[in-house]
Amino acid sequence: MRNVTIVHVAERARVSVKTVSRVVNNEPTVTPDLRERVQAAIDQLGYAPNIAARRLGGSRSFLIVAFNDRKLTLENWASDRGNNWIDRMQYGAMLRCDVHGYHLLCELIDLESDQLARRVQHVLSSLRPDGVILTPPNCEDPTVLEALKRAQVPFVRMGSAAAGPGARVRMDDQAAALRLTEHLVEQGHRRIGFVTGSARFLASHAREDGYRKALAAAGLPVDESLLVPGDFTFEGGVAAAEALLSRPDRPTAILAGNDETALAVMHVARRLDIAIPGDLSLATFDDTPSVRLSLPPLTTVRQPVAEMAAQAVDLLVAAAAKDGKLSRADHLLPFELALRASTAPPP
């Protein structure tokens, strides 16, 4: 492939390079007539502006970075959560990047590394992205936030319940937990266990708040012993479920901190010969494929992860197109309650 540059397009459309640039960058002062001629030349030649050159000369890089928190060795892979949260995030982000002519770069960071700040700074100064998307738990990490602030890169924190720098895009975790708990209460449950999420994730606390609020609103007391800490892993869920389900006055319903935890609860329930939803109702958060396909399918709150990521990209692109400044807004996206067979009135 011989390189097709802006000059070739200009020659073909018999206009100046400047005009082609104006068309490519959507500047308003081009007549539809010319614009069309230029576009035709672009299409015919299959021209795409060289992103490196655009970055170097202009003020934008057309790159957005998403940091993923993982250990930086292959061995640690197995311990990584097999969730598809990140996957969904990437998907939503890529879709919008594509629309805007942007590209998504996924970069690994290890929050526990002592090189963390250096790593973030290195990535930013090497790539000079127009924006960064942070996902839990790195959207709460002070080192990361500080590094981003110093680099003056606009960033969006996805799914973070905490106020702080940068824009936020999230669902209302508290409201979601509240709705889910309400649903269980409506079905007649009075003893509702809650395997909380990892304390590292602020969403866990918000969900717990929603749970408490719903009980309070229904005039039900909160039995603290029914709140068992989980950590978003299967193993943690198993331990928590065992604690809840082996007691004589076991709950008639359990709210799991996330899908992984819910699967663990199912696992333990099956072992203990506790039928779902016959003996125990189960509800959870996230709506990953596995809980749609489990037996029975689980009642969950669908977190609009891809949509959140899409909006994050929109915000960053808009900021880059303007002055590179991103307002500190908090964007709440609606969640969806998926009522499935795992919740039913208590026995």
Angle among Cα 175, 181, 182 to the nearest 5 degrees reads 85
Q: Could you give the 3-state DSSP secondary structure of residue 173?
A: helix
Closer of 18 and 328 to DNA (Cβ): 18
Which DSSP state fits 298? Answer: P
Nearest to 89 by CA among 65, 125, 63: 65
Binding test (CB under 8 A) with a second copy, winner from 14, 18, 118, 247:
118
In sequence order, the β-bridge partners of residue 70 are none
Residue 336 binds: one of DNA, a second copy, none (C-beta under 5 to 8 A by kind): none
Beta strand pairing status for 155-158 and 281-286? unpaired
Closer of 57 and 289 to DNA (Cβ): 57
Q: How far is the CB of 22 from a second copy (least distance, A)?
A: 18
Q: How far is the CB of 56 from DNA (least distance, A)?
A: 3
Other beta carbons within 10 angstroms of residue 322's beta carbon come to 9
Q: How far is the CB of 182 from a second copy (least distance, A)?
A: 26
Cα 253 to Cα 276: distance, rounded to the nearest angstrom: 9
Cα 229 to Cα 58: distance, rounded to the nearest angstrom: 50
Binding test (CB under 7 A) with DNA, winner from 60, 100, 190, 267:
60
Specify whether the CB–CB gap between 241 and 226 falls below 8 A: no
Cα 157 to Cα 117: distance, rounded to the nearest angstrom: 17
Q: How far is the CB of 158 from DNA (least distance, A)?
A: 28
Asked if 84 touches a second copy (CB under 8 A), the answer is yes
Q: How far is the CB of 96 from a second copy (least distance, A)?
A: 9
Choices 6-14, 145-153, 193-201, 259-267; region in contact with DNA by CB under 7 A: 6-14
Choices 9-17, 116-124, 196-204, 339-347; region in contact with a second copy by CB under 8 A: 116-124
Residue entry with tokens 């969950």: 300
Specify whether the CB–CB gap between 159 and 309 falls below 8 A: no
Asked if 68 touches a second copy (CB under 8 A), the answer is yes
Other beta carbons within 10 angstroms of residue 79's beta carbon come to 10
Specify whether the CB–CB gap between 111 and 134 falls below 8 A: no
Residue 127 binds: one of a second copy, DNA, none (C-beta under 5 to 8 A by kind): a second copy
Choices 13-21, 32-40, 65-73, 198-206; region in contact with a second copy by CB under 8 A: 65-73
Specify whether the CB–CB gap between 51 and 73 falls below 8 A: no
Residues 225-254 that bind a second copy (CB under 8 A): 234
Specify whether the CB–CB gap between 257 and 230 falls below 8 A: yes
Give the x/- contact pattern for a second copy in 141-180, rule: CB under 8 A: ---------xxx----------------------------
Q: Could you give the 3-state DSSP secondary structure of residue 217?
A: helix
Cα 146 to Cα 225: distance, rounded to the nearest angstrom: 38
Give the x/- contact pattern for DNA in 36-55, rule: CB under 7 A: -----------x-xx-xxx-
- List interacting residues with a second copy (CB under 8 A): 1, 3-4, 46-53, 55-56, 61, 68, 70, 72-74, 77, 80, 82, 84, 86-88, 90-92, 94-95, 98, 103-108, 118, 121-128, 150-152, 234, 263-264, 267, 270-271, 288-290, 293, 295, 306-307, 310
- List interacting residues with DNA (CB under 7 A): 3, 5-7, 14-19, 21, 24-25, 28-31, 33-34, 47, 49-50, 52-54, 56-60
